[in-house]
Structure formats: structure tokens, C-alpha cells
Amino acid sequence: MPIDPTKPYDPSNIFARIVRGEIPCSKVYEDEHALAFHDINPQAPVHVLVIPKGPYVSWDDFSERGTDAEIAGFVRAVGKVAREQGLVEPGYRLLANVGMDGGQEVPHLHVHLFGGRPMGPMVR
């Protein structure tokens, strides 16, 4: 069920609980601003989610309220994870679903990082 993007950040969402260590994840990277872990239902041989540690609902929310340090830290973390996963040379896809039409289901910003095979058409 896609999220309602008009609702304020819900600190009980599943990714907030993962950031707080209340729920386990298969972690691949962590720094001051970001956490990356394998998606529980992978759609590609590599399917990693990268999230900011701060309380942001979506890309829209983060790009408006995030500090310059958080935004720079997050963007650098996404690139670092892709490099560490060996995805740069074969190539990969980044995806951030936003709101209802985007099909966003978890109300904490996350970037999907897909790789390990050709990704095919951009939008079905």
C-alpha cells in the first residue's frame, strides 16, 4: 500500500526501527549519515537499500529539509556502496519511489540500488 506523502514522519516505520537497531538488517555499509542493507525481497542479483539516518519521509522531504551535510553524506554513501558492491563497471540502476504514484511503501527515504544483470526498460 503506497504511503500518504502528506503525513508527517512516523518514527515507528520499519526503516526507522532498523536505524535504531530494534530490527535486524543485512548491513552492507554504515557511516554518520547513511545506512545500507540488502532488500528483504530482492528484485535483482544485487538489491541494496541506502537510507539516510535522519527522519525524512521521502526524496521530496529530504531535498527540502535535509542539511547540506546530510545530503552530501547521503549522496556520497550511495556512490560508495555502489563502488563497494562492484557495480560501477557493469553498471547499475538507482531508484527512489516517492509518494502514491511512485509506489513508495516505506515512509523513510530509501534509494534502491539494483545491479548484477542488465536492468531492461526504465519504466514498465
| Binding stretches for ligand 5GP (CB under 6 A) | 14, 25, 37-41, 97, 103-106
Query: What's the min distance (Å) between Cβ of 45 and ligand 5GP?
Result: 15
Q: Which one, 67 or 105, has the nearer CB to ligand 5GP? A: 105
Question: What's 108's DSSP letter?
Answer: S
Q: Nearest Cα to 56, choosing from 96, 2, 113, 114?
A: 96
Between the CA atoms of 71, 72, 74 and 78, what dihedral angle is there, to the nearest 10 degrees?
130
Backbone φ and ψ of 63, nearest 5°: -70, -20
Question: What's 34's DSSP letter?
Answer: E
Query: What's the min distance (Å) between Cβ of 64 and ligand 5GP?
Result: 19
Grid cell in block for residue 51: 537510507
Q: Which one, 6 or 41, has the nearer CB to ligand 5GP? A: 41
Query: What's the min distance (Å) between Cβ of 37 and ligand 5GP?
Result: 5
Q: Which one, 48 or 87, has the nearer CB to ligand 5GP? A: 48
Q: Is 110 a catalytic site residue?
A: yes
Residues annotated as catalytic (active site), given as ranges: 110
